[in-house]
Amino acid sequence: MSKEKQRREALIYHAKPQPGKIKIVPTKPYSTQRDLALAYSPGVAEPCLEIAKDKENVYKYTSKGNLVAIISNGTAVLGLGNIGPEASKPVMEGKGLLFKIFADIDGIDIEVDTEDVDKFIETVKMIAPTFGGINLEDIKAPEAFEIERRLKEELDIPVMHDDQHGTAIISAAALLNALELAHKKMADVRIVISGAGAAAVSCTKLYKAFGARAENIVMLDSKGVIRKDAENLAESKKEFATDRKIDTLEEAMVNADVFVGLSIANIVSPEMLNSMADNPIVFAMANPDPEIDYNLAIDTRKDIIMATGRSDHPNQVNNVLGFPFIFRGALDVRATAINEAMKMAAVKALADLTKQPVPEQVNIAYGETRLAFGKEYIIPKPFDQRLIYEIPPAVAKAAMESGVAKAPIQDWDKYREELMLRSGNDNKVVRLLHGRARTNAKKIVFAEADHLDVLKAAQIVHEEGIATPILLGRKEIILELKKELEFDADLDIIDPMSEEFDERHIRYATKYWESRKRSGVTFYSAKIKMRERNYFGAMMVLEGDADGMISGYSRAYPTVVKPILEVIGRATGVKKVATVNIMITEKGSIVLGGYLNQY
């Protein structure tokens, strides 16, 4: 997909049919006067009075315990820099979406219009009673360090700056597994960190917590190697300054065991990779383009273990593996903080999960034959449904053991069951179906492709590799709609009504006539039927020119089903025709089946 096309798709996605990605929906009945009297006046006074007696009752009677504030001032948004609070809102809404679909946490985005540290902290403190946790996001360093430190000290709810700790937690889990595969120990390896921002600092601190030694670490900022003899060294960088007499990335990479990139694209050359130690570990996590191209890196060093921040390569270091599940565990024990013990517990749980047998549903979802712990699988996949019931319990236990849990869990089996119910069965079914389709893409007839919505569906099916569409309908309209959608794929377009009656039409008409002539169908009427898209499409399936057919968008159900039954018919011994539908609900998927009595 071209960048311009991707840009347009992204803008349409965010704007239509309703601007934004999140909304608020009621959780209680509201259809009767009684419901409204309980929800607001006078019934609402009762929980208010209970909370006034004991503030902890706010968790019992309100949504506070499942509500996280996603707060930013827009000073370090993705790779876009300081674009301001309003421009950061799509990212914060996206974070709310991820909280919900992965961990069933309600996230409310709040964009604060100040770069003053004291004002920002004061604002967050004043609104904190509303929330069960605070997720700081896209705040530039070094202010981010001060903001998080003070808020953690002054608030009694979990606070985490995900840009720092999310990447640190996921990459630390990946690093533990990579070191195991490389037969190396954390205390012995020489580590190069490219970048000195919030994420790089947090990653390095966490690696040290797992045994990395300060004398083995070299960190670089935009000016080069951070050295102890540098003048005017920022306080946040002093801990990571080296006394080695080197200045450049090229020098730092010589005999290094690990490279961690949190900087800019294409700064690592093949020559630098070749200068590293045996079995080098390279985490090139700059987005959207890594410090060295994945394919170039693996072509350069066959013994490399590599991860990136991209989803189109193995070993994606993706924060979504961490923050939803860490906050889930913290909220569920009503933790007063997210501390080092909880973060380290998440790291170990992620690392351990990677080594467990991968469920077939995950293999199917990612189009893999068999995912297994190894160089191309050192970290779980984001859509692994086990994350929701493996990571939160580990975090919750660490919170309890470290003394920050105000509501300890007593029944762990019951807790795991509750987590499974939060895991989004609807999304899993869709992903499973998509995954199965991609493993053996079929040719599918879209019988009403001259309708915008149908053609748009065909476009998505094609671009996601789910199937190969065959477009039936008025050709000039389909071409016009394709241009409007910027759908430039070279696909078969067939207009059964207006095209010349070619060999295929004759073949289809003959086949239909031979099967239906005892029912009074003439060859002439059979040819007329092949001008109709549902008869033509069904015949394509019968003759093996297509594998399936989608129809019924603009026509009544009986009108669509009748041609299919006349052309394809029933299997031998089958007397009744059955239908099946999948209804996706908030509580899971419902499969509905039934007979068509008239057939």
Looking at this protein, which amino acid is placed at residue 1?
A: M
Q: What's the token pair of residue 58? A: 């706010």
SS3 293: coil
Q: Is the dihedral of CA 239, 244, 246, 251 positive or negative?
A: negative
DSSP 229: T
Give me the residues paired with residue 260 across strands.
193, 283
User: In which residue are the tokens 């996706």 written?
Assistant: 584
Report pLDDT for 308: 95
Report pLDDT for 582: 82
| Distance separating alpha carbons of residues 282 and 500, to the nearest angstrom | 59
**397 vs 101, higher pLDDT:** 397
- Judge whether residue 519 has pLDDT over 70: yes
Report pLDDT for 423: 67
Domains 165-313 and 441-568 share a fold: yes
The tens digit of pLDDT for each residue in 465-481 reads 899 999 999 999 999 99
Pairing of strands 577-585, 588-596: antiparallel
Looking at residues 522-534, what average pLDDT do you find? 92
DSSP 62: S
- Judge whether residue 495 has pLDDT over 60: yes
- Judge whether residue 598 has pLDDT over 60: no
Supply φ then ψ for residue 401, to 5 degrees: -70, -30
| Distance separating alpha carbons of residues 197 and 139, to the nearest angstrom | 10
Report pLDDT for 573: 82
Measured CA angle at 377 (ends 308, 588), to 5 deg: 100
| Distance separating alpha carbons of residues 275 and 277, to the nearest angstrom | 7
| Distance separating alpha carbons of residues 276 and 295, to the nearest angstrom | 18
Confidence class for position 434, pLDDT limits 50, 70, 90: confident
| Distance separating alpha carbons of residues 464 and 494, to the nearest angstrom | 22
Q: Is the dihedral of CA 447, 453, 455, 461 positive or negative?
A: negative
> Exposed, middle or buried by CB within 10 Å (0-12, 13-18, 19+), for 130?
middle
Report pLDDT for 592: 86
Among all residues, which ones are annotated catalytic? 40, 95
Confidence class for position 391, pLDDT limits 50, 70, 90: very high
CATH class of 165-313: alpha beta
The tens digit of pLDDT for each residue in 18-45 reads 899 988 889 999 999 999 999 999 999 9
**Nearest alpha-carbon partner for 93 in 107, 73, 105:** 107
Report pLDDT for 440: 84
- Judge whether residue 378 has pLDDT over 90: yes
Looking at residues 289-300, what average pLDDT do you find? 95
Q: Please, are residues 447 and 457 in contact by the beta-carbon 8 Å criterion? A: no
Query: Which one of 144-153, 308-317, 587-596 scores highest in mean pLDDT?
Result: 144-153
Q: Please, are residues 510 and 523 in contact by the beta-carbon 8 Å criterion? A: yes
Q: Please, are residues 496 and 532 in contact by the beta-carbon 8 Å criterion? A: yes
Report pLDDT for 597: 63
Looking at residues 255-277, what average pLDDT do you find? 96
Q: Please, are residues 46 and 59 in contact by the beta-carbon 8 Å criterion? A: no
Report pLDDT for 253: 97
Residues 6+ apart with CB under 8 A from 283: 171, 174, 175, 258, 259, 260, 261, 306, 307, 308, 317
Report pLDDT for 431: 67
Report pLDDT for 330: 98
Q: Please, are residues 91 and 116 in contact by the beta-carbon 8 Å criterion? A: no
Give me the residues paired with residue 470 across strands.
445
- Judge whether residue 349 has pLDDT over 80: yes
Give all strands of the β-sheet with 442-446 in edge-to-edge order: 493-494, 467-472, 442-446, 548-550
Report pLDDT for 428: 62
Looking at residues 254-279, what average pLDDT do you find? 96
Any idea which of 165-174, 404-413, 478-487, 530-539 has the lowest mean pLDDT?
A: 478-487
Confidence class for position 234, pLDDT limits 50, 70, 90: confident
| Distance separating alpha carbons of residues 265 and 95, to the nearest angstrom | 24
Domain boundaries along the sequence of the chain: 165-313, 441-568
pTM: 0.77
Q: Is the dihedral of CA 374, 379, 383, 389 positive or negative?
A: positive
User: In which residue are the tokens 């094609």 written?
Assistant: 462
Percent of the chain with pLDDT over 70: 96
Query: Which one of 345-349, 355-359, 451-455, 460-464 scores highest in mean pLDDT?
Result: 345-349
**Nearest alpha-carbon partner for 382 in 368, 362, 367:** 362
* Segments in 277-424 forming alpha helices (H): 294-300, 323-332, 340-355, 360-365, 387-401, 412-421
The tens digit of pLDDT for each residue in 50-104 reads 999 999 999 999 999 999 999 999 999 987 889 999 999 999 999 999 999 999 9
Report pLDDT for 295: 95
| Mean model confidence pLDDT for the chain | 91
- Judge whether residue 6 has pLDDT over 70: yes
Looking at this protein, which amino acid is placed at residue 391?
A: I
The tens digit of pLDDT for each residue in 542-558 reads 999 999 999 999 888 88
Q: Is domain 441-568 in CATH 3.40.50.880, yes or no?
A: no
- Judge whether residue 426 has pLDDT over 60: no
Q: What's the token pair of residue 12? A: 């349409």
User: Which secondary structure element, helix H or strand E, spans residue 98, and what is its range?
Assistant: helix 85-103
Looking at this protein, which amino acid is placed at residue 515?
A: S
Looking at residues 573-599, what average pLDDT do you find? 76
